[in-house]
Structure 1
Amino acid sequence: MKRGMLTALSSEAKLLRLANALIRSGYEDFFQTLVNELALVLDVDYVMIAAVPEASHQATTLAVSFRGESADNILYDLHGTPCETVPERELCQYPESVSTQFPDDKMLQDFGIQSYCGMPVLTSSCEKLGILIALAKRPVKLGEADQEIMRIAAAQIGANMELARNQHRIQSLIFEDAVTGLANRRRILDWLDETPGVQSVILLDIKRFKDINDLHGHLIGDAVLYAVGERLKSRVSGLGFLGRLSSDEYVIIPFDEWSGTVLDQARQIQQWFEPSILSGSAKFQIGITIGAATASQLDGQRFRSVGYELLRRAGVSLAEAKALGQSVLVFESSMVDSRQYRKRMFDRLSDVLREGGLSLHYQPQIDLRTGELVGAEVLCRWHDAEMGWVPPGQFIRLAEERGLIIELGDWVLRESCRQLHEWDASGTSLPGKLCINISTIQLESRGFAERVLTILAGRDPSGVVFELTETAMMRAPEISIRQMERIRASGFSWAIDDFGTGYSSLAFLTRVHAQFLKIDKSFVSRVPNSRNDETVIRTIVAMAESLGMNVIAEGVETQEQLAFLKSIDCCYAQGYHLGHPLDPVSFKQKWLA
């Protein structure tokens, strides 16, 4: 039916045509069907539905009709247009000369529009979502019946837009991470299940994220997670699928458009985080660990979901990278054996810790000026009936990873205290101080100071030194200082272990009030043949003297190293050249008898 032929229709006939269009509500073509029908029923040139986001100055059409036929959607600026004047709840009309009244409205000028009618599109709670617009190239004033048609149509449009928005919100809650706005775990898994041909999966983890939460609070922690997500989003863009898998883990699934091997891609991701992350006024240097897996490693094996299997393997490689202190690892089948070995080691460690299968050895510390024993360092050892001697670096790191380090640390404190009492009772007391290593996790744990003071009750605090590595101390310096001060106030001393490998400053050293600096053995091992290392050691000794601190050189293994340390007036040292770690009986016979 052509334009003009519907003007003679009765109001009832127009409402009937409107009702036929409204029947399409819920269908994909509803908005287009409705505006096409309205253009004919109202006898106007254009009808359009425009969405107006909250606080936006632009409108986007969802459907446009020109004389009853579909037309292209447009985006236009609301400023200086009659749409800007449409009230929150009432219909607005400009029956004639609307182009003259709004000379800055380019659309009106280009279309040659003379009359305008706009009806706000509202939600059930009267929130404005958009506008239903009727435009004519001649003067037109809609009567009461046609205005009512506009109201009915706008009400149904509002209901549909509100439903769509609510469905989108529900989808967002189900599939969108609340902190970063990225795809969440459920969406990631669905995407992997639905997408054929996945060739690789990359997992990345923020190093020491717990420290950020503990030191700065969870609000700052969430802000950092968001900032990391934004950086990834800006770099990955169309190169891959991106999501947040869990607390501080993100997943990237590269598309074919991303060139290079998965190892190249992983290294590129690491470069993205060389610039620091800004969160409010705080700046964070983010380190990341990456684990990856590729379909080429599947060797023709069949899986229900290749994507799921690659995600699992990427998780294995990420865990392996964290366990080994590596920045990037790509999955290898041997990692499964390694994981199984660590699982077996953890099970055994849990058993021996509770059954008394661990032991302590003691390494002598010597005064280089007199050659006399001035103390010892406690070293935890584990000889397993099934696994043999297990290196401390392996089982202590595993204890930290799996939450056993506090229990292990408390056992070391109790056993050290018991041994000191035993030596005292036999009349062979340890001269000087006993140095006991403390993990950062122990230091930051709830009730640490109270546990230490309870376990060591009755011991002279001047005879015990707690060691904390410089690197561990600087992970959360403010927390470290508070806890260390509580212990120091009770008379115990602190030593900064592996000094020279971290990033502490002179200002920090004056705040921790440590009594000892222990020079890391990596420096000692290269003297007297490395001028740079000699300079570092001389500087540490001089700095410690100026701060009123004592220096203990670690890892002395040759006579030449010993001679160099004596020549620069380093007072104390330990190492195989001076004495190996020994079990309590052997240590007593050699050093205390």
Structure 2
Amino acid sequence: MTFIKVRSLQSKILVLFLFLLFIAQLGGFFYTYQANVKLESIQLNNRLNNAADVFNTQFNNRRYYLSAFAETVAKDYGLKSVLKEDTRTLLVALNNHRKRIDSNLALVLDVKGKVLGHLFTNKQADGTDKIQRGTNDGLVFEHSQTLLGQDKLAQLVTLNGKLYQLNFAPVKEGARTIGWIGFGYLIDAELALDLAKLTGVHIGFVNHDGDSYHVIASSDNTNYPTDGEVYKGIIANTEQKYLYRRVELGNIGDGYVSAILFESRADLLKHIDIQWASLAILLSLSLILSTLGAVAIARSITKPITKLVKQAQSITQGNYDQSVDVSNSKELQQLSEEFNHMTKAIVSREETISFHAFHDPLTHLPNRNSLINTLETLADKQQPFLLIQLCYLRADEITDTLGYQVGDEVTMTVARRLESSQLDINAFHLGAEYFVLIVKPEQAEQLIDKLLAILNVSCHFERIALHLQYAFGIVDSTQYENSSASELLKKSSVAIQRAKSAKKSFEIYNPVFDENTLERLFLTNSLKQAIEEDQLTLHYQPKLCLATMTVSHAEALVRWQHPEKGLIPPDEFVSIAEKTGQMAALTRWVTKAAFDQYLTWQQQGIVINIAINISAENILDESYPDFVINLKKQYQLDDNAITLEVTEDAVVDDPKQATKMLSYLRDNGFKLSVDDYGTGYSSLAQLKQLPVQELKIDRSFVQQLENDENDKIIVKSTIELAHNMSLSVVAEGIEDEYTLNWLKEHNCQLAQGYFISRPLPSAQFTQWLETTHYQVKRVNYNK
């Protein structure tokens, strides 16, 4: 065999380059092939797994929705009142409730399972649903033995040849069950189609009974009919052209119903075939272009002058990484060396220019331009961070008094301390006394404490010792993901100005800072009018005595239903009252309303201690104790009928005044409680001196008791501490049965939270007392 000898340098370079290019392309093609095979497997399985998750979520949401609605309707007083009326009246009420959730089935049974009312929808020719009355009134519901013995009555049942998802709830009169009410949705082709649109796969509902099965409905009856071969193959696991997941929905008699989620392999792999075609075109173009490039490079290597020209072109384009070495002749070698010297000189000048463009000339820290670039890069990478702007205070005073040179020295000292802090921070100098730090998300307070420990060291200039003070403005990028770099910097400036005006060491940015002051002025003026015109109302949240499981206490919580602005959160208008001097009037209104309500309940034979919150301003108000004591005498209330709750912070502000006022109130028959215990800064020594009878543990320690062992330790130790100091304990924030039982086991006296009841207006609260399964403290009064 004769081989063609390759003699020219250009040809040798070209052959070698093409060989290496072919090997690289072949390796890339093989890697891409393997990656696509793996991607195919992952995509096929992930799509069906995601579809099954979406299906389960949607189906369970229907179950929870039916359960919640049935329980709500079962408590409806109007329905109870017509339960024993004539059938037509009952059916009208039942249909009104059914229409609220557009259910396909509604049933009312008596306690023995007999049908009192039965409504179901029937699809008409025009596609509308017609409500029809069932024909089994007076008969025992065929599924009652299966359903009515369960706690959570959610089942699949068949009625009139149709499959329903049905939920029953007991209708009670006091503690006695007087009947059952249930609502259900059809499981049909319409549901299959809706869920198929959500999941993106085909769905069929199948009833399995032993070895036999029946396809109830399909999302695509045209391509996949219920009696077709596709379902037979899928269920028998013989059809290999489809991938599927089976989700069991529930039992019907001896069988069970499941949902089959499936998709054709061919449909799922279409987009991969398209990717292969695109990849083939891309590889072909890459090979052609790379070949042309190889020819050009081979030719350029053989032509030193062309190489020098290309080097000059690279320099004009800002590429200084390459150097030229030509040894063909002395003249060309000298020319290439001059090119290399010129490149190094240009690189040096550009580095100097770039440094001054992105660094502060005084501190040599990165400047505002560098900061903006860094923020934009972090945003593009979606990396969370804290933006902290800091400044040292009295900068103008230092410059005016000691001169610009000392002012610059102070700025450079702060910069050096930030650079040498050994903290994980990126420091930038905005100019003058302002700096910016970018740090990883963590506890900002802890970081600021470390920074202050470094920065607070005295600065000595010309025998003068300066003790600098600092302010920090903090912005959490995760809270403002759509904000630009400039907007984040502006927010940090707003926060630092807020800190300086409030004389605080730091402030975390809050959008409330940017709210229109006219809006707050409007609410300020409206609050005065609301207090005078009784626009306020009290809601009451019960407190449960855990020893006897009796409702014996309640907390009064003020609400404001503004005629124009709607419901205004208490946190918002209470803070306005505190800042505008209206807290005294607000507390007096709440106190008077609570006393009125206590007297109303007392006349009804209901004895419930009412707790009223008082603020730090009320403690400093020497006229408030006489006001509330005179009110107690006027209403002739018993001692300890009213509890006054005061926060830890209110006590810490002026312990002497707090002790004096609280002692006066206790001596005159008021029960006293420390509210939100554990969140303030009161010491045990201060607590020991206060004449209180009760501690109220803050909800932040109670809400996660089931999952947080640290909270259990804190709450348990607080209960034991309170009992050792002869104090009773209230725990607020109970949201589940576990927490209630745990507190009862650890001898907590009173419990309060949404698990027992939400805060309710007085009328609804009174009605709740009549219907709750808890005992209510009562006594007969004949006044």
TM (norm. structure 2) is 0.37
Larger relative contact order, structure 1 or 2 (CA cutoff 8 Å, min sep 6)? 1
Structure 1 or 2, whichever has the larger Rg, is 2
